Chains A and B, each alone.
Chain A
Amino acid sequence: MFKRKSRRPKSATYKEVWQRGNLATKLSFIFMGLAQLKHKQWVKGLAFLITEIVFLIWFVFSGVSALSMLTSLGSIKSKRVVYDSTQGVYITKMPDNSVVILLFGVLAVILVLAMIGLYIANLRSVRKLYVLERDGKHVPTNGEDLAALLDRKLYATLLAVPIIGVVAFTVLPTIYMISMAFTNYDSKHPIGFSWTGFAAFKNVLSGDLAGTFFPVLGWTLVWAVCATATTFFFGVLLAMLIESKGIKHKGFWRTIFIIVYAVPQFISLLMMAQFLDLQGPLNTLLMNWGWISHPINFISASANPMVARITVIIVNMWIGVPVSMLVSTAIIQNLPQDQIEAARIDGANSFQIFRSITFPQILFVMAPALIQQFIGNINNFNVIYLLTGGYPMNNNYNGAGDTDLLVTWLYNLVFGQTQRYNASAVLGILIFIISATVSLIAYRRTNAFKEG
Chain B
Amino acid sequence: MKSYRAQRRFSLIMRYILLVILAIVWIFPIIWIVLASFSYNDTGFVSTIIPSKFTLQNYIGIFTSKQFPFMNWILNTTFVSVVSATLSTLVTICVAYVLSRLRFRLRKPFLQIALVLGMFPGFMSMIALYYILKSFNMLNLFGLILVYVGGAGLGFYVAKGFFDTIPMAIDEAAEMDGATEWQTFIHIGLPMSRPIIVYTALMAFIGPWIDFIFSGIILSSSGNAKNYTIAYGLYNMVHATKGTSTQYFTQFIAGCVIIAIPITVLFIIMQKFYVNGITAGADKG
A contact residues vs B (CB 8 Å cutoff): 1, 99-100, 103, 147, 150-152, 154-159, 161-163, 165-166, 168-174, 176-177, 180, 238, 241-242, 244-247, 253-268, 270-272, 274-275, 277, 279-281, 284-285, 318, 322-323, 326-327, 329-331, 365-366, 368-369, 371-372, 375, 379, 381, 407, 410-411, 414, 421, 424-425, 428, 431-432, 435-436, 439
- Assuming the A-B contacts A165-B152, A281-B46, are A258 and B253 also in contact, with contact meaning beta carbons closer than 8 angstroms in the complex? no
Does A425 lie within 8 Å of B124, measured CB to CB? yes
Q: Residues 210-234 of chain B: 1 if any A CB is under 8 Å from the residue's CB, otherwise 0?
A: 1011000000000000000001001
Q: Considering only CB atoms, which chain A residue lies closest to B129 in the complex?
A: A173
Q: Determine which of A173, A256, A266, A285 lies in contact with B210 in the assembled complex, contact meaning CB atoms within 8 Å.
A: A266
B67 close to A (CB within 8 Å)? no
Residue in A157, A170, A174 with the greatest tally of chain B CB atoms within 10 Å: A170
In angstroms, Cα B14 to Cα A241, docked, is 11
- Assuming the A-B contacts A159-B94, A265-B210, A421-B127, are A279 and B47 also in contact, with contact meaning beta carbons closer than 8 angstroms in the complex? yes
CB of A281 to closest CB in B, whole Å: 5
Q: Considering only CB atoms, which chain B residue lies closest to A370 in the complex?
A: B282
Q: Considering only CB atoms, which chain B residue lies closest to A165 in the complex?
A: B150
Does B47 lie within 8 Å of A284, measured CB to CB? yes
A173-B129, A241-B22, A330-B279 are known; give 19 further A-B pairs, CB within 8 A. Answer: A103-B135, A150-B180, A155-B98, A159-B95, A162-B153, A165-B153, A166-B151, A169-B150, A170-B117, A255-B268, A259-B264, A264-B209, A267-B33, A267-B234, A284-B49, A331-B279, A368-B283, A372-B281, A425-B124
Which of B56-64, B162-170, B270-278 forms part of the interface with chain A? B270-278
Does A173 lie within 8 Å of B128, measured CB to CB? yes
Does B29 lie within 8 Å of A159, measured CB to CB? no
Could you show 21 A-B contacts with beta carbons less than 8 Å apart? Answer: A151-B180, A154-B102, A158-B97, A162-B153, A166-B151, A173-B132, A241-B15, A241-B18, A247-B16, A257-B22, A258-B267, A260-B26, A280-B47, A323-B274, A365-B279, A368-B283, A407-B123, A424-B124, A425-B124, A431-B120, A435-B119
**B residues within 8 A CB of A270?**
235, 238
Does B91 lie within 8 Å of A161, measured CB to CB? yes
In angstroms, Cα B45 to Cα A272, docked, is 12
Does A264 lie within 8 Å of B259, measured CB to CB? yes
Q: Residues 28-45 of chain B: 1 if any A CB is under 8 Å from the residue's CB, otherwise 0?
A: 011011001000000001
Does A259 lie within 8 Å of B27, measured CB to CB? yes
**B residues within 8 A CB of A256?**
23, 26-27
B82 close to A (CB within 8 Å)? no
Does A414 lie within 8 Å of B104, measured CB to CB? no
Interface residue ranges of B44-92 to A (CB < 8 Å): 45-49, 91
**B residues within 8 A CB of A242?**
19
Does B29 lie within 8 Å of A272, measured CB to CB? yes
B4 close to A (CB within 8 Å)? no
Does A162 lie within 8 Å of B152, measured CB to CB? yes
**A residues within 8 A CB of B274?**
323, 326
- Assuming the A-B contacts A280-B47, A281-B46, A326-B271, are A170 and B98 also in contact, with contact meaning beta carbons closer than 8 angstroms in the complex? no
Q: Considering only CB atoms, which chain B residue lies closest to A170 in the complex?
A: B117
**A residues within 8 A CB of B102?**
154-155
In angstroms, Cα B193 to Cα A320, docked, is 29
Identify whether the interface residues of A are mostly helix, strand, loop, or mixed: helix
Q: Residues 128-149 of chain B: 1 if any A CB is under 8 Å from the residue's CB, otherwise 0?
A: 1101100100000000001101
Does A163 lie within 8 Å of B153, measured CB to CB? yes
Count how many pairs of residues, one from A and one from B, have CB atoms less than 8 Å apart in the complex.
248
CB of A180 to closest CB in B, whole Å: 8
- Assuming the A-B contacts A256-B23, A263-B260, are A154 and B16 also in contact, with contact meaning beta carbons closer than 8 angstroms in the complex? no
In angstroms, Cα B23 to Cα A315, docked, is 15
B6 close to A (CB within 8 Å)? no
Q: Determine which of B23, B181, B267 lies in contact with A151 in the assembled complex, contact meaning CB atoms within 8 Å.
A: B181
Does A264 lie within 8 Å of B260, measured CB to CB? yes
**B residues within 8 A CB of A424?**
124
B243 close to A (CB within 8 Å)? no
B contact residues vs A (CB 8 Å cutoff): 8, 12, 15-16, 18-19, 22-23, 26-27, 29-30, 32-33, 36, 45-49, 91, 94-95, 97-98, 102, 104, 107, 110, 116-117, 119-129, 131-132, 135, 146-147, 149-154, 172, 175-176, 180-182, 185, 209-210, 212-213, 231, 234-235, 238, 253, 256, 259-260, 263-264, 267-268, 271, 274-275, 278-279, 281-283
Q: Considering only CB atoms, which chain A residue lies closest to B235 in the complex?
A: A266
**B residues within 8 A CB of A436?**
116, 119
- Assuming the A-B contacts A166-B154, A264-B231, A266-B231, are A257 and B23 also in contact, with contact meaning beta carbons closer than 8 angstroms in the complex? yes
Q: Determine which of A100, A159, A258, A277 lies in contact with B45 in the assembled complex, contact meaning CB atoms within 8 Å.
A: A277
Q: Considering only CB atoms, which chain B residue lies closest to A103 in the complex?
A: B131
Does B212 lie within 8 Å of A266, measured CB to CB? yes
Q: Determine which of A244, A245, A428 lies in contact with B123 in the assembled complex, contact meaning CB atoms within 8 Å.
A: A428
**B residues within 8 A CB of A253?**
19, 23
Residue in A151, A246, A271 with the greatest tally of chain B CB atoms within 10 Å: A271
Q: Considering only CB atoms, which chain A residue lies closest to B128 in the complex?
A: A173
In angstroms, Cα B125 to Cα A425, docked, is 9
In angstroms, Cα B219 to Cα A242, docked, is 44
Does A381 lie within 8 Å of B124, measured CB to CB? no
Q: Considering only CB atoms, which chain B residue lies closest to A242 in the complex?
A: B19
Does B127 lie within 8 Å of A177, measured CB to CB? yes
Q: Considering only CB atoms, which chain A residue lies closest to B33 in the complex?
A: A271
In angstroms, Cα B26 to Cα A261, docked, is 10
Q: Considering only CB atoms, which chain B residue lies closest to A368 in the complex?
A: B282
Does A323 lie within 8 Å of B185, measured CB to CB? no
Q: Determine which of A151, A246, A371, A428 lies in contact with B182 in the assembled complex, contact meaning CB atoms within 8 Å.
A: A151
**A residues within 8 A CB of B172?**
1
In angstroms, Cα B182 to Cα A169, docked, is 28
In angstroms, Cα B271 to Cα A10, docked, is 54
CB of B43 to closest CB in A, whole Å: 9
In angstroms, Cα B117 to Cα A180, docked, is 17
**A residues within 8 A CB of B185?**
154, 158
Q: Determine which of B33, B94, B259, B282 lies in contact with A158 in the assembled complex, contact meaning CB atoms within 8 Å.
A: B94
**A residues within 8 A CB of B46?**
274, 280-281
Does B125 lie within 8 Å of A170, measured CB to CB? yes
In angstroms, Cα B125 to Cα A132, docked, is 46
**B residues within 8 A CB of A375?**
119
In angstroms, Cα B13 to Cα A246, docked, is 10
Q: Considering only CB atoms, which chain A residue lies closest to B135 in the complex?
A: A100
Q: Determine which of A169, A258, A330 lies in contact with B151 in the assembled complex, contact meaning CB atoms within 8 Å.
A: A169
- Assuming the A-B contacts A103-B135, A318-B26, A326-B274, are A431 and B121 also in contact, with contact meaning beta carbons closer than 8 angstroms in the complex? yes
